[in-house]
């Protein structure tokens, strides 16, 4: 007489698929922004005071006009000394980067990490309907990666 099992037939395990983790989940929305008519000195002071390396430049409608970074400020300092020009009167519009790579809120963090790798930039402004709604940095992507469980590494 054989052994009978009363457990019955087992169901195949179900793999739970996690939703992709999106840029909108990790982007910063409380941004320090600049205007084109601000002085570079104001920008430098803001960067130092807030321990940031740059920020978006927007117009009165919240539309992205460019980015001003500590590297742009370094260029102004360097040229100012060479041409014996004071730093004070120079405006953001004269030193900001106008060619800016942007992303939208519907990109997942894996694709965003790939864009960071390909473009070599420190931050991406995040646009929605042409307006600046946030910014995501390399550090934000690192934080997202650290919070994920091992089984979430699929999209």
Q: Where are the domains of the chain?
A: 23-149
Superfamily name with CATH number, domain 23-149: CBS-domain (3.10.580.10)
Distance CA 10, CA 66 (A): 59
| C-alpha torsion 15→18→19→24, nearest 10 | -170
The reported pLDDT for the residue numbered 2 is: 55
CA–CA dist 22, 10 (Å, integer): 36
What confidence score (pLDDT) does residue 61 get?
A: 93
Helical segments of the chain, H only:
23-26, 40-50, 70-82, 109-119, 138-147
CA angle 62, 66, 70 (to 5 degrees): 120
Q: pTM value?
A: 0.75
**Which of 75, 110, 68, 61 has its CA nearest to residue 93?**
68
* pLDDT at position 1: 53
Distance CA 57, CA 54 (A): 10
Using alpha carbons, list the distances in angstroms from residue 1 to 4, 6, 8, 36: 9, 15, 19, 89
In terms of Cβ atoms closer than 10 Å to its own Cβ (0-12, 13-18, 19+), residue 68 is buried
Mean pLDDT by 10 residues, the chain (155 residues): 56 60 92 95 94 94 93 78 62 92 93 93 91 94 81 50
* pLDDT, position 147: 83
């Amino acid at each position: 007489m054989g052994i009978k099992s009363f457990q019955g037939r087992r169901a195949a395990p179900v793999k739970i698929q996690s939703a992709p983790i999106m840029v909108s989940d990790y982007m910063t929305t409380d941004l320090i922004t600049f205007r084109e008519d601000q002085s570079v000195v104001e920008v430098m002071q803001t960067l130092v005071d807030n321990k940031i390396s740059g920020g978006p430049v927007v117009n009165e409608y919240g539309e992205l006009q460019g980015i001003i970074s500590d590297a742009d400020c370094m260029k102004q300092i360097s040229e100012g000394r060479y041409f014996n020009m004071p730093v004070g009167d120079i405006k953001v519009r004269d030193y900001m980067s106008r060619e800016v790579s942007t992303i939208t809120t519907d990109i997942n963090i894996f694709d965003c990490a790939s864009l960071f790798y390909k473009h070599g930039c420190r931050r991406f402004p995040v646009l929605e309907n042409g307006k600046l709604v946030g910014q995501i940095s390399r550090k934000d992507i690192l934080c997202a990666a650290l919070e994920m469980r091992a089984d979430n590494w699929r999209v």
